[in-house]
Structure 1
């Protein structure tokens, strides 16, 4: 059975969501954040960088949420969370899946950290965030998700950042993204994961 090291209010909820979708149980080890909203020292005993999520399977350890999600769909031979291999949609999906942490996260987190610290978001950071959200809106097309009605790994991957942005009121000027986030929250796997481990984002 997969062991999931899950930090509260973190990307670990993505992993639990996918496991719920796959109908796979896990042994979950929960970690509370410090008063400074950081990971506790205990996670450094799990991974040298004190990261979460981390999974353990058959004596091996895997970090990085994107890698974990890919590992799980391969392990359980799941073909329902990606477009058909060999199609252009498949490669568009892979690009969007990697886009979340490589391009979107650095921009979103600049705005998120300002919000967490009670500071006004710098104009340049807001402009960069709006550009990213406009790009995601374009990729959504008619929606309701990135690939129509199919929930994909890319949708699960992007959910954490949307949760934080929504908590800070930063989706208000992007109604299509706000609707998309509401749709993601209605997915059975998301509901089961957050009922089990708590919300993705801390209370506003």
Structure 2
């Protein structure tokens, strides 16, 4: 069952509805909407016991995933596309100008990189953790643990290390991923980087990745991030 809440500014603007799901990538879209100062409604849904999205989400998009943004009657899916659309239309300050070619191309690259290169390995890490934690008989447990380790050690972990090493290098001498100003790329990358802390292992730590952890502290200090966090907490409490 969905919980609906209208939030944001009171200025006249487009009619925006965010289809939101707990424990999903929709959280960062709330942050972006707050950064842009837009008025929006949240239709919130809760995952089923099996952690899958409820069937009701297919009323908004055939894939039944979240986030989905409905704006002035148009339905937008895919986090990267939603971020790009909102920034292009309402928040040019959240992207470099096109005549700043190096930063602009880096920004566009990161919008695709976050979902295309980084997120798949995090999903695999989540699947492996679910295999390891699966409620199976004790005599089966060594088998499932071995399968998980064979996926993780030679394949998932090395690729995650490469990706986070890359992101760490991008922040060298910079406050944000595209220069010293927040951009849509930072908002899009917030979910995979923050979720990594509880998903990929103890090797992802402040000592190994000081730039990434300083960046996480930095974005959490932004008023819009705090407002989004508080709104999401309220939504989750009412589900």
Cα deviation 1:53-99 (Å, max 9, x = unaligned):
111122211111111112112332x2211112122111111111211
Secondary structure in 2 matching 1:98: helix
Matched ranges for 1:1-204 at <5 A:
1-76=15-90, 78-87=91-100, 88-117=102-131, 118=133, 122-124=152-154, 125-168=156-199, 170=201, 171-172=204-205, 173-198=208-233
Aligned length: 198
Secondary structure in 2 matching 1:33: coil
Q: Is this contact kept in 1: 2:172–2:211, CA < 8 A?
A: no
Give, in whole Å, the separation in 1 of the partners of 2:226 and 2:130.
25
Secondary structure in 2 matching 1:167: coil
Cα deviation 1:132-163 (Å, max 9, x = unaligned):
10011111112332134311111100111112
What's the C-alpha RMSD, in Å, of the aligned pairs?
Answer: 1.9
Seen in structure 2, the aligned counterparts of structure 1 residues 18 and 133 have a Cα distance that, compared at 3 Å, is same
Q: Runs of 4 or more off by more than 6 Å in structure 1? A: none
Offset at residue 169 of structure 1 (A): 6.1
Offset at residue 19 of structure 1 (A): 0.8
Q: Is this contact kept in 2: 1:111–1:129, CA < 8 A?
A: no
Structure 2: where are the runs of 5+ without partners? 1-14, 134-144, 235-239
Q: Is this contact kept in 2: 1:166–1:178, CA < 8 A?
A: no
TM-score by length of 2: 0.76
Give, in whole Å, the separation in 2 of the partners of 1:134 and 1:74.
29
Offset at residue 22 of structure 1 (A): 0.9
Give, in whole Å, the separation in 2 of the partners of 1:177 and 1:112.
21
Offset at residue 13 of structure 1 (A): 1.4
